[in-house]
Structure 1
Amino acid sequence: MIGVRRGLLSGVVGVLVMCALLDARAGLGSVAWATGSTCAAVLALAAARRAASDGVRALGPADLVTLTRGALACGVAALVAESSTSGADVRHVLVPLAAAALALDFVDGRVARLTGTASPFGARLDGEADAFLILVLSVDVAGSAGAWVLSTGLVRYVYAVATWLVPWMQRDLPARYWRKVVAAYVGISLVLAAWGHAPAATTYAVLVVAVVLLAESFGWDVVWLWRRRVNPTEPQTVLLDRTPGRITPDGPPSDRP
């Protein structure tokens, strides 16, 4: 275990070190450096605020793995910024970095189960790391595939804003493992598109399927909430769900996948 403040500060320092390594490997301009460091600072502040809200004082092994994923996503963001501003081809670095972040998504849940350290804070941190990486990758892929790809990264944040504005959407959601499958597919499809070597028709089809799956996943949740809008204050027992920003009722706490 490591203190929250120390762990998050180490994460920010780690991002800066990674940016230095990426600068040596691919070359990073001032915008890329600013993007990577700003993303690291924002994610650290958001995690610190959530930890304080949840009463978390120390980070467990699984949380540290998730923070590593968040740091890698910040590195991907720096590379996307570099590609967008200078036109440099950074795929040889961006794709392995994004793939590593996706691979770690299968690690933190197993670490949480093995160490008995699963928690609501860890589940939220895990989901936000997923959402941020998908957003960054969607920005990169949109440059070649079209702006419509941004919907894959923005939908989670649009949903979050909607839950703040619409009272009946603030009800907790039931567990649905399909959400995890959809999130994994979307991440893999975006990495494939960022790689740029698959046939154009294949890449387009894979991305269209990602959008359809996200529409089904979030649409199912919205419909479920709409049907139960007449009784939003019904007492519930909360169950953790790995999906960003979603906590689910009617069961005991579950580990991350």
Structure 2
Amino acid sequence: MASRLAGRYNPVLLELMTGFIALTIASLTLWFWLEASPVVPLAAIVAFMVLAGLVLYYIPDRSRWLGWANRITLARGILIAMLAGALADPRLLDSHSLPLVSLATLALLLDGVDGWIARRTRTDSLFGAYFDMELDAFFILVLCLALMVLGKVGPWVVLIGAMRYVFVMVGLRLTWLQQPLPPSQRRKAVCVWQVTALMLALLPMIDATTAAWLAATALAGLAGSFGRDVGWLYRHARACPFD
């Protein structure tokens, strides 16, 4: 079994190991520069290892390499893992929010680049789409937790990051929620605004009241978007019942 997995995953595993080394060096360098707690790079490494494990588990059998589009997504994963590590040190979030927002901004700018590369190279895939989508969901959850840890927004902000995971869990019982949705520019716009609003709320010059309003607009947009998607899935399930 071990040899078979090695044959199946060896090229991808090599790319993930390269990402792991890059994350470790970047985390140790950045957090040493910011005089962070040693638990911060450790938490970032754990977050990346979970990400890498999920990639190995879900990547199709026929995949030999990640491809350039998924490599860009993996690079975003490294940045997001570093942000997740910062959650372990609230003092770091409070005193160095600008560098952390800069990391988040870079991760946001890379979002969309992977899809553009996939389309240009004709290497778009279902795995790549889900990889990108689930990383976006985790990114949003990390930003929500950062706002809560800083005390700028109440615990309700986690509803923004948790909504995707609640949707998935409910879908385990209501299988019609698992059916694919049609492409939607509205869904993409809502996702971009969520990340933008949450990052703006993290900026040190934004007070708690403004941060709460920004987060509230993100929550309202997300709730409306999810409501429309659930409604579409329900109507489609009634019109075309699944076995």
Does TM, normalized by the shorter one, top 0.5? yes
Q: 1:13 aligns with which of 18, 21, 25?
A: 21
C-alpha distance in structure 2 between counterparts of 1:219 and 1:115, whole Å: 34
Structure 1 contact 83–90 (Cα < 8 Å) conserved: no
1:124 aligns with 2:141: no
Q: 1:141: which partner in 2? A: 147
Q: 1:98: which partner in 2? A: 104
AA aligned opposite 2:219 = V
Q: 2:5: which partner in 1? A: none
Q: 1:233: which partner in 2? A: 242
Larger mean CA deviation between 40-49 and 164-173 belongs to: 164-173
Q: 2:7: which partner in 1? A: none
Structure 2 contact 98–204 (Cα < 8 Å) conserved: no
Q: Secondary structure at the match of 1:3?
A: helix
Q: How does 1:1-257 map to 2 (within 5 A)?
A: 3-52=11-60, 55-83=62-90, 89-143=95-149, 144-230=152-238, 231-233=240-242
Structure 2 contact 93–146 (Cα < 8 Å) conserved: no
C-alpha distance in structure 1 between counterparts of 2:156 and 2:37, whole Å: 27
C-alpha distance in structure 1 between counterparts of 2:67 and 2:196, whole Å: 27
C-alpha distance in structure 2 between counterparts of 1:196 and 1:157, whole Å: 29
Structure 1: give runs of 5+ residues left out of the alignment.
235-257
Greater relative CO, 1 or 2 (CA 8 Å, sep 6+): 1
Q: Secondary structure at the match of 2:63?
A: coil
**What is the count of residue pairs matched by the alignment?**
231
CA shift, 1:51, in A, is: 0.7
Structure 2: give runs of 5+ residues left out of the alignment.
1-9
Runs of 4+ in 1 over 6 A off after TM superposition: none
Structure 1 contact 151–211 (Cα < 8 Å) conserved: yes
Structure 2 contact 83–142 (Cα < 8 Å) conserved: yes
With the length of structure 2 as denominator, give the TM-score of the two structures: 0.87
With the length of structure 1 as denominator, give the TM-score of the two structures: 0.83
Q: 1:237: which partner in 2? A: none
Given the superposition, is the C-alpha separation of residues 87 and 64 from structure 1 closer, same or farther in structure 2, using an over 3 Å criterion?
Answer: closer
Between Structure 1 and Structure 2, the one with more helix by share is 2
